[in-house]
Structure 1
Amino acid sequence: MGKLIGAVLGFMVGGPLLALLGLAIGHIFDRGLGQAMRFNYGAEQETLQRSFFDTTFRVMGHVAKADGRVSESEIAQAEAIMTELGLTPERRRDAIARFKEGSAADFQLEPEIASFLRHGGRRLLMRKMLIEALLAMALADGRIDPAERDILSRVAQHLGVRAADFDRLMRMAGAQRQFHGYQQGGQYTGGAAPDSGARLAQAYGVLGVEATASDAEIKKAYRKLMSENHPDKLAAKGLPDEMMKLATEKAQDIQAAYALIKEHRKES
């Protein structure tokens, strides 16, 4: 754009010679602007990633304290999640510190979410990913109790997510957790291994559609979810590296669920 404007203005003022000069000046402007934009973009991404990481583990600690105290099983669950995410020793220490801050008696949820929004969390996709990450962590033990649900519902409300959309995300997260357990070598984490009918119901739940949906509706839901949850896209939007494993697993579960539904419909 700088080169174009420089060349046009130069030509209008002094003909072809000044047009060349304007082109050169415009090129220098474009390079400087590009460098400035890359610098600012990188800094913004780093800030958002840090904010996402900190908010996730603070709220996770707050959820663990929902019943008044953090139990040994909840601490073990948090440590298991950190291990599953593959955190480095340094990042693990950071996560533990943020978890403790969130479980402290003086922790306030609303200012924490407001801080996340200020640091780039106003992007709809990142708000949705924060809720989904928290739901995935809360479901690590296979269930979300009423006190935990209340806190997560408040998080969604502060992020501007409608109650109906939050309920849908929670149902999809639950279905994905069950479906993922089956996908892991048949090691189902939700109790007794499901029969084929239950697995199919979970697959529909992963895509967030009813079993009565048409093939076109299912394909549309699948494509939308894959577009939203593609790891490369999420990385570009500011998802921290540590959360990429959750995103990758979700994308794989979406693909597996869609494949199962297609296979079932082909056989029917």
Structure 2
Amino acid sequence: MSLWQQIAALLGSFSQGTGLAGGIASIFDPDNWMPGGREAAFTMSIIALSAKMAVADGVVSRREVNTFHTLVDIPEGADAHVDRFFALAQQDVAGFDSYARKVRKLFADSPATLEHVLDALFEIATADGFVHGDEMAYLEAVSEIFGFDSVRFEQIASQHVLLPTGHRDPYAVLGLAPDVTDDELRRTYRRLVAEHHPDRMIAKGVPEELMGLASAKMASINTAYRDVTRARGTRPALASTQST
């Protein structure tokens, strides 16, 4: 059964009250997502939290919905299930915090996977060109629930939000201070590559349909490392952003 067949089976037919769609509370209980596998659970997590984040500023733009479609390789015929689930999540009166905690539980063994969920949420938030105050507060709250401290959150945000200069701070992307030694710079870069390489993400349950997001994460890390090493007059040896 493909990822999208699994999601369709989990969602069922809301109008007919079959499957999990017998009640909104059941749909948005992550404990019910795992029978579809970790890949389905990961994708459902992003759909639900993205929908909640999209209404954080009180306005849901078509661009935000379209951005989700660009993040996920949705095959023909499956987009109706995603749009339906997205719409139900927007209508759900329950708070996001309860199932954000369950998402953390689902991927407690892989903080990098939780970080990829945040990456997807940031992409949705920046779809209209900037992050609204309510959206940033939402993202920070989800980050805290996921177990990331404020320093880590700022690092993740720096990979998506541009400075007034129009550029990202490469040291912030790498989570380092500008006075870091060359040896520590290399060690940190290698650790980040090991954590976020697409091959490892697949092993942790991130579906292949979201490998574009994982590759973009690696590209951001590579760009930051390249900029720092060039500024220091050294030549970087960059890791591949592609899965093997």
Work out the CA distance in 1 between the residues paired with 2:181 and 2:35.
39
Task: Return the match for 1:58 from 44, 48, 52.
Answer: 48
Note the alpha carbon deviations across 1:8-47, whole angstroms, 9 max, x for none: xxxxxxxxxxxxxxxxxxxxxxxxxxxxxxxxxxx97952
1:121 and 2:121 aligned: no
| Pair 83,126 (structure 1): closer, same or farther in 2 beyond 3 Å | closer
Give the corresponding residue for 1:170. 157
Deviates more, 1:87-96 or 1:60-69: 87-96
Work out the CA distance in 1 between the residues paired with 2:183 and 2:86.
43
**What displacement does 1:130 show?**
1.7
* Higher RCO, Cα 8 Å, sep 6+: 2
Give the corresponding residue for 2:64. 77
Question: AA paired with 1:61?
Answer: A
Give the corresponding residue for 1:261. 228
> SS in structure 1 opposite 2:57?
coil
**What displacement does 1:263 show?**
2.3
Give the corresponding residue for 1:36. none
After superposition, the CA RMSD in angstroms is: 2.8
1:93 and 2:86 aligned: no
Unaligned stretches of 5+ in structure 1? 1-42, 179-189
> SS in structure 1 opposite 2:73?
coil
Task: Return the match for 2:217 from 247, 250, 262.
Answer: 250
TM-score with structure 2 setting the length: 0.70
Question: AA paired with 1:206?
Answer: V
1:239 and 2:206 aligned: yes
1:187-266 matched pairs, under 5 angstroms? 202-266=169-233
1:1-40 matched pairs, under 5 angstroms? none
Question: AA paired with 1:138?
Answer: A
Note the alpha carbon deviations across 1:204-224, whole angstroms, 9 max, x for none: 333232333221222122111
Q: In 2, are the aligned partners of 1:101 and 1:107 still within 8 Å (CA)?
A: no
Task: Return the match for 1:158 from 142, 145, 153.
Answer: 145
Q: In 2, are the aligned partners of 1:45 and 1:237 still within 8 Å (CA)?
A: no
| Pair 227,48 (structure 1): closer, same or farther in 2 beyond 3 Å | same
Greater helix proportion? 1
> SS in structure 1 opposite 2:58?
coil
Give the corresponding residue for 1:68. 58
Work out the CA distance in 1 between the residues paired with 2:77 and 2:103.
22
> SS in structure 2 opposite 1:86?
coil
Aligned length, in residue pairs: 201
Between structure 1 and structure 2, the one with the greater Rg is: 1
Work out the CA distance in 1 between the residues paired with 2:58 and 2:131.
16
Deviates more, 1:202-211 or 1:237-246: 202-211
Note the alpha carbon deviations across 1:158-206, whole angstroms, 9 max, x for none: 222223322332223325xx8xxxxxxxxxxx9xxx6xxx75x633333
Question: AA paired with 2:131?
Answer: I
**What displacement does 1:240 show?**
1.8
Question: AA paired with 2:133?
Answer: P
| Pair 49,152 (structure 1): closer, same or farther in 2 beyond 3 Å | same
Work out the CA distance in 2 between the residues paired with 1:61 and 1:219.
38
**What displacement does 1:94 show?**
3.1
Note the alpha carbon deviations across 1:111-157, whole angstroms, 9 max, x for none: 32244245x32222322222222223322333221111121222122
